Amino acid sequence: MISIAFLMAVLNLVRRGRLREEYTPIWTIVAVGIMVLSVWSDALRALTHAVGAWAPSSTLFFFGELFLLVLCLNHAVRLSRLTLDVNSSRRSSRCSAPTSAIVNGAPAPDRAGARSRPADRPLSVRRRERYGVDRSAGGVRPLRRHHDHAPLPPAALLGLPL
């Protein structure tokens, strides 16, 4: 019953466009395989004997782990390919702003003169914008946020009684 629901869920995701067509055969084969093994338990026992496992649950666990390993490898290959594509596109589109302006924290001008994207600014500038600083007292003091709390004394960090 659960295997039929899983197959229907896969087909529904494909129909609504939430699951890409390239993944459809993989998940359809998995759903049909689960359905066949749940209906025909002798096939699972024969597969268990062929693998050399003691229990059918060990066989299911082994093939589940193998499937997840292959799936992780597939996603790692795709991620590596996308990273290479992004790096090559960054090299091909150079920023026209001088590097001294970027290093000093000035926003790099866009071709239309607008502010640059947040990722184009140095990390120190982005942190300053995100967390804020109070320069009114002449120094640089971080603004307090609602999630800030008083730091623990060193004795409490070591687990010693206060």
Name which of 47-56, 71-80, 121-130 the model is least confident about: 121-130
- Asked, for residue 35, whether it belongs to a domain, the answer is yes
**107 shares a domain with 86:** no
Q: Taking all residues of the chain, what is their mean pLDDT, rounded to a whole number?
A: 75
What was the pLDDT predicted at 72? 94
- Asked, for residue 49, whether it belongs to a domain, the answer is yes
Please state the pTM of the whole predicted model: 0.49
- Asked, for residue 142, whether it belongs to a domain, the answer is no
- Asked, for residue 138, whether it belongs to a domain, the answer is no
Per-residue pLDDT reduced to its tens digit, 40-74: 889 999 999 999 999 999 999 999 999 999 999 99
Q: How far apart are CA 98 and CA 137, in angstroms?
A: 32
What is the 3-class SS of 105-123, one letter each residue? CCCCCCCCCCCCCHHHCCH
**60 shares a domain with 120:** no
pLDDT at 86 over 60: yes
**87 shares a domain with 18:** yes
**110 shares a domain with 76:** no
Cα four-point dihedral sign 68, 70, 75, 79: positive
- Asked, for residue 46, whether it belongs to a domain, the answer is yes
- Asked, for residue 145, whether it belongs to a domain, the answer is no
Tokens in use for 162? 């206060």
**88 shares a domain with 106:** no
**85 shares a domain with 39:** yes
**12 shares a domain with 68:** yes
- Asked, for residue 74, whether it belongs to a domain, the answer is yes
**51 shares a domain with 24:** yes
Residue 72: left if φ>0, alpha if ψ -120 to 50, beta else—which one?
Answer: alpha
What was the pLDDT predicted at 80? 93
Out of 30, 64, 92, pick the residue that ends a domain.
92
The residue range of the domain holding 117 is 99-133
Q: How far apart are CA 1 and CA 73, in angstroms?
A: 31
Q: Which helix (H) or strand (E) holds 10?
A: helix 2-16
CA dihedral 146, 152, 153, 159 (to 10 degrees): 170
Greater confidence (141 vs 119) lies with 119
Number of compact structural domains in the chain: 2
**121 shares a domain with 66:** no
